[in-house]
């Protein structure tokens, strides 16, 4: 392609358009920058030079060799140098460098397309509104034939752009100049306004300072006013308590004022408040005077309350008494029925005195104060007095009716039940008027105690003349179990006032029972005079053993064989055990067991004289064993400590005083004198159970020894003589008396000849075969327990076996075999088998 027909391709045109757009956009983004236009022109110029260089390089490569061109003009060199300097000072971005590279490649490969002029003209028309049509026509018709034309075209294009850009910036400059003038004017006005604002601020500060000063002064005045108002209110409140004196006094002394008035209780409350305040502030002037006057008013008010309460109670009592007379119809000997009694005595009285309820509640709410506690106590007393005047006659008459037709146990039940009903009704009525005080049983004591005294006065004369132990025990059981535990315990505080009287009656019954028990033990046990039938042992036991007894009568039949004092002792102890206090029972049981033991021992001696010593011993063993077994379930210590005063140490000191060896009064040794003339306290502990065990053991030992002597008495005598002979032989051997009697052998002794020994053995065998079985029979008769018999017979067997063993040893050592065979002495094994067969 010839170089003069070179055309710009699409890439070159696009790059040129891009450069132009960049310069225009830079100018648009800095509209108020005076250097923005020059900066945009420089950017476009530098890149245009680069494009022209690229175009020249492309043309050199594509065109055929030509003659060298004339040298560039100075203007061109100057422009190139300027572009290089600008390129160094204003380096391109990567995107711009990429665009220039694309232009270089496009110019080197292809000629400029024919439509470049159209595209450039179109872009120029879009950017510049003025002269765009003419420029578009020129560019459309322009055909670039060489570089000179391109430079010219480029110069024209640059001039057109410069003109267009300078026009736009002229307009900007003009606009900015006008705006600057307006700003200068505004700044002048603003300075004037700020100066006025400064003056206003100074004036405002002055006004604010004066206002704050005034506000602070007002606040101080307000606070001072509030403080003074508070002080005045406080002073007024305090003075009100003192000022109320005249007002309260005027109302209390008014002729229309009474306790029934609706203003009385509020006025009394205000009086209490004033009295409390004045009493708590004695430092105020004339507080003592006001306190005395307030107390006088309070005393008058409480006096009015007491008078009013008494008047209301008397009026109610009068109404009740009238109702009682109407119910009886003028017959004072008859008593009210239970329904009429409740209706008249309680319902009518409650209705008649109903106006006291509010007043009493008000008094109880202030009961913590001494004055109100006292008036409340007075009201309780007045109430109890009026109620007692109404109820006492009715209660006494009802109890008298019970006493006329009922026995002592039934009277006790009925009287206690009736009094519990009365106490419960009285407690309910009292609780209606005094709800806060009803929990304390002591407040109703002035009313309940006289009512209970009526029952006590009725029961006591009959109790102190009662001698039957069973009836007294029944009374104690009624009072303890039925009354105190069941009824009083179930009803609680409502009948608590009855408890002291019941305990008093119970104490009297226990005292009477103790006295009667002591009398019974003295008369029926200690002073018991046995009859011949009572001492008919062993006939009584033999008769009881022969009489057939059913299972129901077996225990009763065993009692019939006991000695009467034993049966009576155990009977009285069993009755007293659950009726009296343990401490009292221990003393009585101690006395009873001791007295019973003495009585049994006395009877044993009589039976020994009447029947036989063995019968007396077995009688004593039997009854002491029964006594020990029967008192074991009581689970009490039968030990009593007796304290006595001992003056025996004073005798020697008195002798010395009478002899003149010691002064009567020795002030130098007061403590020693006091110790000398002070009695010593001796404690003597007596245990009836141990005494019983001791007597039983002694009796058993006596019985064992008596049976042993009865069975083997000859052997025991023989053994004793042999022992004495051996002792004499030993003594004779010491003095070496060859011809003395003791030097003879044992079998030659007068008491130990074979004939004598054979006679002894024969007697013992007869006793063992004839007498000892009878002893065992008697033991079976007296002692019902086989274990007891076995224990008692075991030492007897041991003694018999030991006596036979000792005799057998003497025979074997001192006699010949022929003599031993003639004696017919039993072997130990045979004798033991025989004795085991007996018991």
Determine if the peptide bond prior to 79 is cis (ω within 30°).
no
Distances (CA, A) of 822 to 75, 96, 812: 194, 170, 12
CA proximity to 245, closest of 215, 219, 278: 278
**Sign of the torsion formed by the C-alpha atoms of 119, 124, 126 and 132:** negative
**Residue corresponding to tokens 């007061």:** 670
Measured CA to CA, the distance from residue 590 to residue 288 in angstroms comes to 71
Using pLDDT thresholds of 50, 70 and 90, give the confidence band for residue 73. very low
DSSP string, 209-229: HHHHHHHHHHHHHHHHHHHHH
pLDDT at residue 599 in the model = 94
pLDDT at residue 364 in the model = 86
Q: 738-797: per-residue pLDDT in tens?
A: 445 556 788 888 888 888 888 999 999 999 999 999 999 999 999 988 999 999 999 999
Measured CA to CA, the distance from residue 153 to residue 135 in angstroms comes to 11
Is residue 144 scored above 80 in pLDDT?
A: no
Helices (H), 465-578: 469-477, 489-491, 499-520, 539-546, 554-560, 564-577
CA proximity to 396, closest of 424, 377, 419, 362: 419
Q: 593-613: per-residue pLDDT in tens?
A: 999 999 999 999 999 999 999
Question: Chain-wide mean pLDDT for the chain?
Answer: 79
Where does residue 1 rank: exposed (0-12), middle (13-18), buried (19+ CB within 10 A)?
A: exposed
Q: Which residues are CB-contacts of 266 (< 8 A; sequence separation ≥ 6)?
A: none
Note whether 422 and 451 are within 8 A (CB).
Answer: yes
What is the domain partition of the chain in residue ranges? 3-184, 235-305, 393-522, 536-637, 703-838
pLDDT at residue 526 in the model = 93
Alpha-carbon Rg for the chain, nearest whole angstrom, is 73
pLDDT at residue 226 in the model = 93
pLDDT at residue 332 in the model = 54
Helix (H, G, I), strand (E, B) or coil at 685: strand
pLDDT at residue 34 in the model = 42
Least confident of 562-576, 669-683, 689-703, 737-751: 669-683
Is residue 362 scored above 90 in pLDDT?
A: no
Measured CA to CA, the distance from residue 704 to residue 794 in angstroms comes to 9
Q: 382-411: per-residue pLDDT in tens?
A: 999 999 998 998 899 999 999 999 999 999
Helices (H), 90-146: 94-109, 116-127, 132-141
Is residue 556 scored above 70 in pLDDT?
A: no
Q: Which residues pair with 646 in a beta bridge?
A: 680
Is residue 522 scored above 50 in pLDDT?
A: yes
Is residue 565 scored above 80 in pLDDT?
A: yes
Helix (H, G, I), strand (E, B) or coil at 282: coil
pLDDT at residue 668 in the model = 47
Is residue 43 scored above 60 in pLDDT?
A: no
**Residue corresponding to tokens 């007379």:** 325
Using pLDDT thresholds of 50, 70 and 90, give the confidence band for residue 557. low
DSSP conformational letter for 72? P
Using pLDDT thresholds of 50, 70 and 90, give the confidence band for residue 135. low
pLDDT at residue 151 in the model = 81
For residue 683, what is the enclosing H or E element? Answer: strand 680-687
Least confident of 128-137, 161-170, 364-373, 716-725: 128-137
pLDDT at residue 124 in the model = 43
Is residue 505 scored above 60 in pLDDT?
A: yes
Measured CA to CA, the distance from residue 221 to residue 227 in angstroms comes to 10
Q: 347-356: per-residue pLDDT in tens?
A: 888 888 888 8
CA proximity to 48, closest of 139, 142, 146, 156: 156
- Provide mean pLDDT across the span 47-63: 43
Least confident of 258-262, 332-336, 588-592: 332-336
CA proximity to 568, closest of 469, 486, 656: 469
**Sign of the torsion formed by the C-alpha atoms of 253, 259, 260 and 263:** positive
Is residue 447 scored above 60 in pLDDT?
A: yes
**Residue corresponding to tokens 């004695």:** 282
Is residue 234 scored above 80 in pLDDT?
A: yes
Who has greater pLDDT, 215 or 4?
A: 215
- Provide mean pLDDT across the span 825-833: 89
- Provide mean pLDDT across the span 326-351: 72
DSSP string, 18-71: HHHHHHHHHHHH-TT-TTHHHHHHHHHHHHHHHHHHHHHHHHHHHSPP-PPPPP
Distances (CA, A) of 36 to 22, 86, 129, 458: 12, 15, 20, 140
Measured CA to CA, the distance from residue 549 to residue 557 in angstroms comes to 7
The C-alpha angle 794, 796, 801, rounded to 5 degrees, equals 95
pLDDT at residue 671 in the model = 46
Using pLDDT thresholds of 50, 70 and 90, give the confidence band for residue 189. very high
pTM of the model: 0.63
Q: Which residues are CB-contacts of 751 (< 8 A; sequence separation ≥ 6)?
A: 718, 721
Where does residue 129 rank: exposed (0-12), middle (13-18), buried (19+ CB within 10 A)?
A: exposed
Is residue 218 scored above 50 in pLDDT?
A: yes
Distances (CA, A) of 86 to 42, 90, 96, 427, 565: 7, 6, 15, 127, 158
- Provide mean pLDDT across the span 433-447: 86
Note whether 41 and 161 are within 8 A (CB).
Answer: yes
- How far is C-alpha 372 from the chain's CA centre? 36
- Provide mean pLDDT across the span 617-633: 92
Measured CA to CA, the distance from residue 370 to residue 482 in angstroms comes to 42
Is residue 37 scored above 50 in pLDDT?
A: no
Note whether 296 and 271 are within 8 A (CB).
Answer: no
For residue 431, what is the enclosing H or E element? Answer: helix 408-433
Helix (H, G, I), strand (E, B) or coil at 824: coil
pLDDT at residue 72 in the model = 44
Is residue 101 scored above 80 in pLDDT?
A: no
CA proximity to 758, closest of 811, 712, 688: 811
Note whether 616 and 574 are within 8 A (CB).
Answer: no
Is residue 581 scored above 60 in pLDDT?
A: yes
The C-alpha angle 457, 458, 460, rounded to 5 degrees, equals 65
Who has greater pLDDT, 505 or 83?
A: 505
Is residue 272 scored above 50 in pLDDT?
A: yes
Is residue 120 scored above 70 in pLDDT?
A: no
What is the maximum span of the chain, computed from C-alpha positions, in angstroms?
206
Q: 713-722: per-residue pLDDT in tens?
A: 999 999 999 9
Q: Which residues are CB-contacts of 21 (< 8 A; sequence separation ≥ 6)?
A: 123
Counting residues of the chain whose pLDDT is more than 90, the rounded percentage is 36
DSSP string, 345-406: IIIIHHHHTTTHHHHHHHHHHTTTSHHHHHHHHHHHHHHHHHHHHHHHHHHHHHHHHHHHHS
Structure tokens at 346: 């309680």
Who has greater pLDDT, 148 or 432?
A: 432
């Amino acid at each position: 392609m010839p170089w003069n027909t070179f055309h710009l391709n699409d890439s070159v045109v696009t790059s040129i358009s891009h450069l132009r757009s960049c310069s225009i956009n830079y100018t648009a983004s800095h509209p108020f920058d005076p250097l923005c236009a020059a900066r945009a022109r420089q950017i476009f110029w530098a890149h245009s030079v680069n494009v022209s260089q690229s175009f020249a390089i492309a043309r050199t490569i594509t065109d055929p060799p030509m003659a060298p061109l004339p040298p560039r003009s100075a203007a061109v060199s100057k422009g190139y140098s300027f572009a290089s300097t600008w390129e160094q000072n204003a380096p391109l971005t990567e995107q711009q460098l990429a665009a220039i590279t694309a232009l270089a490649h496009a110019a080197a490969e292809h000629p400029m397309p024919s439509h470049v002029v159209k595209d450039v003209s179109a872009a120029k028309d879009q950017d510049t509104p003025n002269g765009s049509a003419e420029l578009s026509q020129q560019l459309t018709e322009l055909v670039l034939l060489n570089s000179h034309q391109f430079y010219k075209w480029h110069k024209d294009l640059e001039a057109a752009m410069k003109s267009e850009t300078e026009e736009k910036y002229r307009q900007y400059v003009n606009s900015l100049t006008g705006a600057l003038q307006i700003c200068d004017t505004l700044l002048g006005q603003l300075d004037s306004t700020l100066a006025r604002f400064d003056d206003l601020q100074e004036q405002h500060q002055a006004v604010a300072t004066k206002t704050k000063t005034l506000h602070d002064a007002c606040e101080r005045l307000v606070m001072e006013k509030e403080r003074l108002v508070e002080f005045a209110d406080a002073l007024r409140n305090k003075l009100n308590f003192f000022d109320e004196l005249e007002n309260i006094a005027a109302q209390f002394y008014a002729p229309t004022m009474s306790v029934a008035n609706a203003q009385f209780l509020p006025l009394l409350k205000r009086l209490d408040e004033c009295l409390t305040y004045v009493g708590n502030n004695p430092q105020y002037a004339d507080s003592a005077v006001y306190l005395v006057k307030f107390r006088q008013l309070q005393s008058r008010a409480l006096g009015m309350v007491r008078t009013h309460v008494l008047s209301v109670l008397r009026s109610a009592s009068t109404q009740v008494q009238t109702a009682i007379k109407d119910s009886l119809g003028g017959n004072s000997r008859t008593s009210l029925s239970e329904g009429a009694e409740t209706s008249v005595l309680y319902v009518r009285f409650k209705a008649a005195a109903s106006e006291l309820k509010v007043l009493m509640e008000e008094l109880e709410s202030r009961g913590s104060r001494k004055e109100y506690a006292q008036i409340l106590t007075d009201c309780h007393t007045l109430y109890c007095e009026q109620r007692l005047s109404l109820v006492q006659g009715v209660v006494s008459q009802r109890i008298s009716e019970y006493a006329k037709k009922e026995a002592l146990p039934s009277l006790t039940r009925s009287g206690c039940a009736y009094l519990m009903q009365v106490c419960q009704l009285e407690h309910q009525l009292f609780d209606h008027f005094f709800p806060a005080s009803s929990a304390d049983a002591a407040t109703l004591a002035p009313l309940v105690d006289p009512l209970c005294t009526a029952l006590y006065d009725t029961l006591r004369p009959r109790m102190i003349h009662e001698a039957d132990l069973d009836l007294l025990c029944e009374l104690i059981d009624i009072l303890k179990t039925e009354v105190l535990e069941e009824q009083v315990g179930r009803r609680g505080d409502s009948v608590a006032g009855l408890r002291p009287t019941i305990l008093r009656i119970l104490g009297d019954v226990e005292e009477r029972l103790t006295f009667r028990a002591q009398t019974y033990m003295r008369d029926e046990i200690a002073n018991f005079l046995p009859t011949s039938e009572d001492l008919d042992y062993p006939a009584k036991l033999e008769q009881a053993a022969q009489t057939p007894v059913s299972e129901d009568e077996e225990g009763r039949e065993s009692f019939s064989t006991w000695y009467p004092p034993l049966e009576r002792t155990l009977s009285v102890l069993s009755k007293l055990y659950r009726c009296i206090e343990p401490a009292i029972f221990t003393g009585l049981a101690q006395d009873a067991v001791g007295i019973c033991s003495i009585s049994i021992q006395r009877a044993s001696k009589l039976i020994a004289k009447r029947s036989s010593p063995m019968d007396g011993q077995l009688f004593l063993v039997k009854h002491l064993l029964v006594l020990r077994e029967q008192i074991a379930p009581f689970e009490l210590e039968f030990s009593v400590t007796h304290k006595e005063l001992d003056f025996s140490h004073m005798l020697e000191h008195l002798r010395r005083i009478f002899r003149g060896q010691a002064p009567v009064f020795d002030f130098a040794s007061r403590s020693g004198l006091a110790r000398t003339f002070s009695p010593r306290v001796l404690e003597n502990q007596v245990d009836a159970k141990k005494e019983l065990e001791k007597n039983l053991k002694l009796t058993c030992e006596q019985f064992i020894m008596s049976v042993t002597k009865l069975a083997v008495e000859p052997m025991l005598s023989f053994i004793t003589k042999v022992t004495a002979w051996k002792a004499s032989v030993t003594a004779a051997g010491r003095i070496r008396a060859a011809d003395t009697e003791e030097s003879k052998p044992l079998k030659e002794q007068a008491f130990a000849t074979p004939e004598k020994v054979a006679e002894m053995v024969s007697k013992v065998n007869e006793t063992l075969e004839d007498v000892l079985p009878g002893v065992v029979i008697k033991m079976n008769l007296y002692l019902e327990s086989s274990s007891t018999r076995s224990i008692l017979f075991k030492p007897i067997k041991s003694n018999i076996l030991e006596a036979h063993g000792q005799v057998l040893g003497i025979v074997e050592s001192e006699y010949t075999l022929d003599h031993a065979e003639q004696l017919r002495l039993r072997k130990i094994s045979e004798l033991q088998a025989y004795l085991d067969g007996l018991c």
